[in-house]
Amino acid sequence: MKNLIKIKLLTDKKILEETLCRMGVANKKDKIIYPSCYLYEIENEFYIIHFKQLFLITRNDSYNNVSDDDLQRRNSIIFCLKNWGLVDADDEEIEPHNKFIFILPFKDKNDWIIRHKFNFSFGDK
């Protein structure tokens, strides 16, 4: 699949997954956050991918509705993660990274609902 961005983990995988759950699109009135991206592993290589890309990878009957805005949002998330020292990624691949994303502070996490748009098995979480 094209448009995947490979990253190098610079922190524990579970920390990165938890952080990604707090980054995306928010309904501030109802305190609901919709995570935009997930960590995806293919043959011991890691990628940050938009949830719509997960549909394309995991479902035979999905259609490609990944927009440029979706990819820009993903790039903005990777840019933040890189700046925070959680991942390493090629700067040229994450351009542009100017899409607004909501980041729920960890201290406020229990006051919000995290609603995933992709039914993703998180194992022992």
Q: Tens digits of per-residue pLDDT, 72-85?
A: 999 999 999 999 99
Has residue 123 been placed in a domain?
Answer: no
Has residue 16 been placed in a domain?
Answer: yes
Residue 19 pLDDT level (bands cut at 50, 70, 90): very high
Has residue 124 been placed in a domain?
Answer: no
Mean pLDDT of 17-37: 96
Domain count, the chain: 1
Has residue 110 been placed in a domain?
Answer: yes
Q: Tens digits of per-residue pLDDT, 47-95?
A: 999 999 888 887 766 667 889 899 999 999 999 999 999 999 999 888 8
Has residue 65 been placed in a domain?
Answer: yes
- Where in the sequence is the domain holding 103, given as residue range(s)? 5-114
Has residue 119 been placed in a domain?
Answer: no
Has residue 101 been placed in a domain?
Answer: yes
Has residue 77 been placed in a domain?
Answer: yes
pTM, full prediction: 0.88
β strands within the chain, DSSP E? 5-9, 23-27, 32-35, 37-42, 45-50, 87-88, 102-103, 113-114
CATH, residue 102: 3.30.70.650
